[in-house]
Structure 1
Amino acid sequence: MTQISTEHRQHWMNILARTPFAAIETAWATLPEQPEYTFLRQPETGLVMVQARTNGSGNAFSMGEITLTRCAVNINGTVGHAYIAGRDKKHAELAAVFDGLLQQPAYNDQLSKSVIEPMEKALTQKQQTKAEHVASTKVDFFTMVRGED
């Protein structure tokens, strides 16, 4: 069995967590065969403390709490996990299922191309559009020197 690298798994889990639920639901509905799975941990919602750093590199401090939903599933002996910001239990469930499927070599190549890559492109496009909008509203401040003698 081919071992999936931690970096690849982190990459697709990040995409699944940030992708809107509607896109994940559509990807699930378009699968030719939806595998059966069992819950190891039902989707559950809780709070996690978010830490930040002063100036991005200084001392860490607790910025506040966010709502998080987590889920774990078993698909033919492969365990899939998901952690989703917010309260969407079905999003966490399907993200965990896709994580489990992507760990299996039989599904990895197909799902990487048909599910993860389009989701990543959509997220990148959304981020670029937002960056362009923010850049268009940028204000340049300058100081005029008065002609005092």
Structure 2
Amino acid sequence: MASTGPNSKQAQRKAAMAVLAHSGAAAIAERMREIALPAHENLREPENGLVMLRGRVGGDGAPFNLGEATVSRAAVRLATGEVGFGYTLGRDAQKAQMIALCDAMVQSAALSGEVEAKVIAPLRAAIDAERGRKAAETAATRVDFYTMVRGEG
């Protein structure tokens, strides 16, 4: 990132969390094997729970409870003091733990470059490639409709 202010760090963290949330647990684990994991402690053991999903309906956007979704969450603290949080849809405690650890490492000045280069960037590239593949697959089935104007007169 060009800037090193708090807003750029927050944007970097937000982008990393989006990539991790859209990646599979196996892919994250595979990428994390390539880096040395720092000493850390669990602030919140990985656990499963429910969150209420809210929707909006009507012209005025009146909120309503749509239903519940299962989530897993975890929190870790690095030995250097950075705290990371991990949330993921579903019942995957290991993925929530890995996301929390990556979140803490992204905040660390000493570790953020390595975790970005060896974990986040390859996962982002895989997500982009999959989206491109799906877009190409969808575009192949596109049908363009047109109407010919009849020349009655």
Q: TM-score, normalised by structure 2?
A: 0.79
1:49 aligned partner: 52
Q: Residue in 2 aligned with 1:65?
A: 68
Q: Which amino acid aligns with 2:87?
A: Y
- Check conservation: 1:2, 1:105, Cα contact below 8 A: no
Is contact 2:9–2:107 with CA below 8 Å preserved after alignment?
A: no
Question: How well do the aligned residues superpose, as a CA RMSD in angstroms?
Answer: 2.7
Conserved 8 A contact 2:84-2:100: yes
Q: Partners of 1:53 and 1:126 in 2: how far apart?
A: 31
- Structure 1, gaps ≥5 residues long: 144-149
Q: Distance in 2 between matches of 1:58 and 1:140?
A: 34
Taking structure 1 as the reference length, the TM-score comes to 0.81
Give the structure 2 partner of residue 5 of structure 1: 9
Q: Which whole-Å CA distance do the structure 2 matches of 1:141 and 1:51 have between them? A: 38
CA contact (8 A) 2:105 2:111 kept: yes
Question: What pairs with 1:44-123 in structure 2 (closer than 5 Å)?
Answer: 44-54=47-57, 58-76=61-79, 77-123=81-127
Q: Is the 8 A contact 2:32 2:119 kept in 1?
A: no
Cα distance change, pair 43–109 in 1 and its aligned pair in 2 (3 A): same
Please tell me the residue identity of whatever aligns with 2:33: A
SS at match of 1:5: helix
